[in-house]
Structure 1
Amino acid sequence: MTRAGRTVHGILLVLALLFGAAPAAAERLVISASQPDVRITSNFTGAELVLFGVAEGTSSGPYDVAITVRGPQETAVTWRKSHILGIWLNTDSRTFLDTPSYLVVATNRPATAIASAEILRREQIGLARNILIQRVGPDFADVVPDDSFRAAFLRIKASEGLYEEQPEGVRFLSDTAFRATFALPGRARPGRYEVSAKLFRDGAMQAQAHTTFTIQKAGFEASLAEFAERDGLLYGLAVACGALLVGFAANLLFRRD
């Protein structure tokens, strides 16, 4: 074989290794949110977000899907109360750093039936498996799931409608198409929300997709919030003057001669 022939043969061999050994078409996940922007007005009491998705590939399933929605990060403090001399007092606290203000995990069936505990922990599927960094003295750590402060934090968030786990929250419309519905409470923080969807088959993750949506103030509330952030001093003076005017008007209306 000539030198040129050996070169062509080597190129063909490399191409065969790169493309011939790979599967003809790997699974691909596509998702889309019903509302890319959620507007908060004066009568905002919450909203409903619907997420649609479809799995594309050579296989028709059966598939499992896990979807996680995370809101803007915040720092929160959980307190422990103790009964001292007949009075309940805050005696200890734990600070949670950069935690999601909103966290909902939805799956088409219980997460433990989808994949192994190791995979679920690595992919942070489920409230108990999401990393929540705490300040413990001078250190920072994600403590064990049954830590009392962590349990209290999750319980408080759940009672506010901000944290939730939906073991049957994903519904398949066909073998490859699915949808999930997420409730956004009235106290959901404005900002950018991250949506992560992961596709499983036979306990192994096949594909994942990401999208975002935004909650933002609109109308007079948005203008007032922008004014307060841009001109804090003027906003404070305006509020003080408004309070004085209201007090003066109330005095005129209700004074006794």
Structure 2
Amino acid sequence: MKQRLAPTVAAFMLAFMAGNAARAESLIVSVSNHRITVTPNYSGEELVLFGSIERDGKSRDRTDYDIVVTVSGPRADMVTRRKERKLGIWVNVDSREFIRVPSYLGIFSNRPIDEIAAPDVQRRQQIGLDNIFLPQRIGPDVANVVATDPFRIAFVKLRTSRGLYREQESAVTFLTPTLFRTGIPLPAEVPIGTYDVDIKLLSGGVLISKADTAFEIVKVGFEQFVANAARQHGLFYGLATALMALATGWLASVIFRKD
């Protein structure tokens, strides 16, 4: 019986030691504001994320740390269309639907992603804009595609041009060997909802710890009232909008009527 138990005990001890090694460092993170309010004059904002690397005695001398922060906004289905010029007119000739992809996506690191980890680690941990899953509907199937896919390139380019997708190297600053910070830019047209923040700690190209936090963007005032009315009372909101449009048209005709 002892001979049979020995391999099991040895395996358990190895797993326990590996678990302890994996917990040699831990992350403590927080953002400067967990609830951002959007008003009619909102023109964008920058959140600040602060973090600390907690080390034990075994990792006291390690200093070659890398940080990658990934911020993902509310997910939604989106469509990218390809246009061609035919008979002097630009027309849609093809399209691709992206399924439940982040409406906002920001990747912030302390140095270039390719210098932080090998390509296989980047893909496995979804580090960097090229390695984030952006599944598409291709016929009856939904699947992620390679970073060189033309529709994916066009989709990312369009989102990037609006400031909604971004990858910034040298955006994470180490204030001390174990304290770091980064800014999270939020453009004026930032979507409303909950934003997930994923923080990965790497050393020597290997993931050694990770943490997560979140913040929320909400509308307040009249904009919040309109949004709630549209969501909770769609029929009445539609009727009210139609009546307002008719009243506006009638008032304009009265004001600019030529006698």
Deviation at 1:192, TM superposition (A): 0.6
- Structure 2 residue aligned with 1:44: 42
**CA deviation vs aligned residue, 1:207-228 (integer Å, no higher than 9, x gap):** 0000000011111110121122
Per-residue CA deviation, residues 100-150 of structure 1 (Å, 9 max, x unaligned), is: 000010110011111111111111111101111011112222111111111
Of 97, 102, 112, the match for 1:100: 102
Change in Cα spacing, 1:201 to 1:244, as seen in structure 2 (3 Å) is same
For the residues of structure 2 that align with 1:198 and 1:148, how far apart are their CA atoms?
29
Matched pairs, number: 246
1:251 Cα shift? 2.9
Distance 1:28-1:231 versus aligned 2 partners, 3 A rule: same
**TM-score, scaled to structure 2:** 0.88
Counterparts of 1:24 and 1:189, CA distance in 2: 36
Distance in 2 separating the partners of 1:223 and 1:87: 41
Q: CA deviation at 1:204?
A: 1.1
Q: TM-score, normalised by structure 1?
A: 0.89
Identity %: 45
**Matches of 1:24 and 1:64, distance apart in 2:** 16
**Counterpart residue number, 1:32:** 30
Q: How does 1:74-223 map to 2 (within 5 A)?
A: 74-223=76-225
In structure 1, how many angstroms separate the alpha carbons of the residues matched to 2:135 and 2:89? Answer: 31
Distance 2:195 2:256 in 1: 49
What's the offset of the Cα at 1:84?
A: 2.4
**123-132 or 20-29, which deviates more:** 20-29
Give the aligned residue type for 1:119: V
User: Structure 2 CA distance, aligned partners of 1:210 and 1:195?
Assistant: 5
- Determine the structure 2 residue equivalent to 1:237: 239
Q: Any unmatched runs of 5+ in structure 2?
A: 1-5
Residue 231 of structure 1: CA displacement? 1.6
Greater displacement, 76-85 / 32-41:
76-85
Alpha-carbon distance in structure 2 between the residues aligned to 1:242 and 1:19:
68
* Equivalent position of 2:3 in the other structure: none
Contact 2:37 2:220 in 1 (8 A): yes
Q: Indicate if the aligned counterparts of 2:23 and 2:209 stay in contact, CA closer than 8 A.
A: no
Structure 1's 181 and 89: CA in aligned 2 closer, same or farther, altered over 3 A? Answer: same
RMSD between aligned residues: 2.2
Alignment of 1:65-80 (within 5 A): 65-80=67-82
Q: Give the superposition deviation at 1:252.
A: 2.9
Cα distance in 2 between the residues matched to 1:171 and 1:230: 44
CA distance in 2, matches of 1:253, 1:82: 44
Tell me how far apart the structure 2 counterparts of residues 159 and 78 of structure 1 sit (CA, whole Å).
14
Structure 1 residues without counterparts, runs of 5 or longer: 1-9
Match of 1:210, SS?
A: strand
**Whole-angstrom CA distance in 1 between matches of 2:240 and 2:91:** 38
